[in-house]
Chain A
Amino acid sequence: MKGRLITRAFLVAAAFVTFFPLYWILITSFKTQLDIVVNPTYLPWVDFMPTLEGWRWLLTEARADVIRAITNSLIVSGGSAVIATMLGAAAGYGLTRFQYRWRFWRNEDIAFWFISQRMLPPVAIVLAFLLMFRWLSLLDTQVGLTIAYTGFAIPFTVWIMRDAFAQVPLELEESAGVDGASAAGVFFRISLPLALPGVVGSMLFAFVFAWNEYLFALMLTFQEATTVPLLLASRITSFGTHWDQLSALTLTNLIPAAILGIMLERFLIRNRTEGSLK
């Protein structure tokens, strides 16, 4: 009883800290420039008059740009999340079920090599990408950006899926094998469904990573394949920041990711392995 109370108090406090900034983005999208930079104002109609200017801009002048950017973002982020999770699942499964040995390289070293790919600062490698992509004619294409983001996400999806498969009891796979299931059958019918929460974590991570990536999108696309973060950055100009437009666009950008979260959350449920081991 006391534990429940503490849990709830903690959640309420965390909710306030989490939602106040989101609320701030929401009301900023309805403010005039003057209401933003003079004094903080909190409640529409009470201490500031809401205006639809930011949203009007989003739905009229910028409409074509917004639609193109969101389409590009969806293709690039969705594509790289799916591919990186599939490859991550394959590599993660291999790393938990088989022992590899190449010279002094073991499974642990391979896993570390994967994650080490994320250690160099992006500013140090973006130039190399620019040259490589120009040579391969991948600049300003959705395919190019998808390949780059897939490459960036794989180190993480491998680790997430490796943990997920490590939690699947070996006995279940063995008994399925005894019952005559093929190796592929065991993977797709037993292991992967039981590792579904890992797939959720991996997909969400890879998607969000690509969805909000800025530097590589800036360097590798110019016109056709530009994504939402570039449009967001364009609201910040040397003449000042269009706060209302920036906020409206931020909320619009949040919606597809939130929908994905709602769709995937249902798979974040406990493995139903209890009683299946006898």
Chain B
Amino acid sequence: MLALSIFPLIFSLGLTFTNVNLFRRTPIRFVGLENWARIFSDEALLETLVNTVIFVGGGVAIQYALGLALAVALNQGLREQRLMRVLFLLPMMVSPIAVGFIIGRMVFSEGFGPINDMLQALGLPAVAWVTSPGVAKWTIILVDTWQWTPLMMLLILVGLQGIPGEPIQAARVDGASEWRIFRHIVFPLLLPVSITAILIRALEAFKIIDIIRVVTGGGPGRATESVTAYVYNVGAKQGDLAYAASAAYVLLFVVIGVSFLALYVMRRVQARYE
């Protein structure tokens, strides 16, 4: 575990102080803080960072809300519950490559996609899913939400199984409404699991790249390009591995900062209930 985690970390950190380039045959030398200085004047990096934060903030919030609702709905002992739990898990098992191509590209296609076709059949205007900078961000969030809400549902379902039944039954005997029981007993007990689910999902969402590359290619302009996509373009396409590693480190710092902040806030919320 230590080897798997520390070697890549140090290796990439070392890269950031060099001029390693895949395509140029210049001798490798140390350039000190040159790459790091470039970071601060890089407007493209800033724009992709803002995009990434929008994807993570918007996407994970929607996924948590929907996942929580689904998990609670599928934990009430409905007759079809067991079948529905498995069926609702399916989207996260579909290969992201297929999700990007078949759903992102075909279903949301502005030319031959069924969504615009159905909207127009209902007399509504077609939506510019990938060609409008504002809408394209939402298309990415929608596709991401379709695929990953099931993971939220799964983790919250796991958490629901560990909640003791006595306080809920006692509250029910006292005549508390279902909403009050959820709000004051179930939800607080779900907080630790919620923190884990949100953190897991957010960490993966910060690295979002596949859907973007397939569905919008980062466009229009840079409207949907994430930091990881930017790192990939700089590193793999332009060959500038050293600068790509530096940009990746910027993302790492942002993620660590956001995680600390999020954990702190969530622990405070949790403490209020204890």
Is the C-beta of B123 less than 8 angstroms from some C-beta in chain A? no
Is the C-beta of B228 less than 8 angstroms from some C-beta in chain A? yes
* Complex Cα–Cα for A123 and B230 (A): 10
* Complex Cα–Cα for A246 and B74 (A): 32
Using A18-B146, A232-B95, A271-B162 as known contacts, list a sample of 12 further A-B pairs with CB atoms less than 8 Å apart, ordered by residue number in A.
A7-B76, A25-B94, A25-B98, A160-B196, A167-B163, A168-B162, A198-B158, A208-B93, A212-B93, A243-B106, A246-B98, A262-B86
Contact with B along A152-181 (1 / 0, CB 8 A): 001010011011101111000000000000
Q: Given A151-B4, A163-B159, A247-B98, do A214 and B210 touch, yes or no (CB 8 Å)?
A: yes
When distances are taken between beta carbons in the complex, the residues of chain A under 8 Å from B206 are: 119, 121
Residues of B that sit less than 8 Å from A by CB: 1, 3-5, 7-9, 11-12, 66, 69-70, 73-74, 76, 78, 82, 84-99, 101-103, 106-107, 112-114, 117, 146, 151, 154-155, 157-159, 161-166, 178, 192-193, 196, 199-200, 203-204, 206-207, 209-210, 227-228, 231-232, 235-236, 241, 244-245, 248-249, 251-252, 255-256, 259, 263
What does DSSP make chain B's interface, helix, strand, loop or mixed? Answer: helix
B162 to A: closest C-beta gap in Å: 3
CB-CB nearest in chain A for B235:
A123
CB-based contact B95/A201 at 8 Å: no
Residue pairs across A and B with Cβ atoms less than 8 A apart, 28 shown, are: A17-B146, A18-B146, A22-B91, A28-B102, A28-B106, A40-B117, A115-B200, A121-B207, A121-B228, A124-B235, A128-B8, A131-B11, A163-B192, A195-B162, A197-B157, A212-B94, A212-B97, A228-B95, A243-B102, A254-B93, A257-B93, A258-B90, A258-B93, A265-B85, A268-B85, A268-B157, A269-B161, A271-B161
Q: Given A151-B1, A261-B89, do A232 and B97 touch, yes or no (CB 8 Å)?
A: yes
CB-based contact B95/A21 at 8 Å: no
* Complex Cα–Cα for A124 and B161 (A): 38
Q: Given A123-B235, A262-B86, do A37 and B161 touch, yes or no (CB 8 Å)?
A: no
When distances are taken between beta carbons in the complex, the residues of chain B under 8 Å from A208 are: 92-93
Name A250's contact: one of B9, B102, B178, B241 (CB within 8 Å).
B102
CB-based contact B228/A36 at 8 Å: no
Q: Given A18-B91, A22-B90, do A119 and B162 touch, yes or no (CB 8 Å)?
A: no
Residues of A225-278 at the interface with B, using a CB-CB cut-off of 8 Å, are: 228-229, 232-233, 236, 241, 243, 246-247, 250, 253-254, 257-258, 261-262, 265-266, 268-271, 273-274
CB-based contact B93/A200 at 8 Å: no
B211 to A: closest C-beta gap in Å: 12
* Complex Cα–Cα for A18 and B166 (A): 34
Inter-chain contact count A-B, CB under 8 Å? 236
Chain A interface residue count, Cβ-Cβ cutoff 8 angstroms: 88
* Complex Cα–Cα for A127 and B86 (A): 37
CB-based contact B192/A166 at 8 Å: yes
* Complex Cα–Cα for A122 and B164 (A): 39
B11 to A: closest C-beta gap in Å: 4
When distances are taken between beta carbons in the complex, the residues of chain B under 8 Å from A11 are: 70, 73-74, 84
* Complex Cα–Cα for A133 and B165 (A): 49
When distances are taken between beta carbons in the complex, the residues of chain B under 8 Å from A257 are: 93
Q: What are the 5 tightest A-B residue pairs by CB atom distance, in nearest-first order?
A: A167-B162, A124-B248, A128-B8, A125-B8, A257-B93
Name A115's contact: one of B146, B199, B228, B245 (CB within 8 Å).
B199
CB-based contact A156/B200 at 8 Å: yes
B222 to A: closest C-beta gap in Å: 17
Q: Given A115-B259, A128-B7, A208-B93, do A159 and B161 touch, yes or no (CB 8 Å)?
A: no
Q: Given A21-B102, A127-B241, do A200 and B158 touch, yes or no (CB 8 Å)?
A: yes
Q: Given A119-B203, A273-B164, do A125 and B12 touch, yes or no (CB 8 Å)?
A: yes
A205 to B: closest C-beta gap in Å: 7
* Complex Cα–Cα for A21 and B90 (A): 11
Q: Quick one: which of A28, A116, A154, A163 has the most chain B CB within 10 A?
A: A163
CB-CB nearest in chain B for A91:
B1
CB-based contact B154/A205 at 8 Å: yes
B149 to A: closest C-beta gap in Å: 8
A89 to B: closest C-beta gap in Å: 13
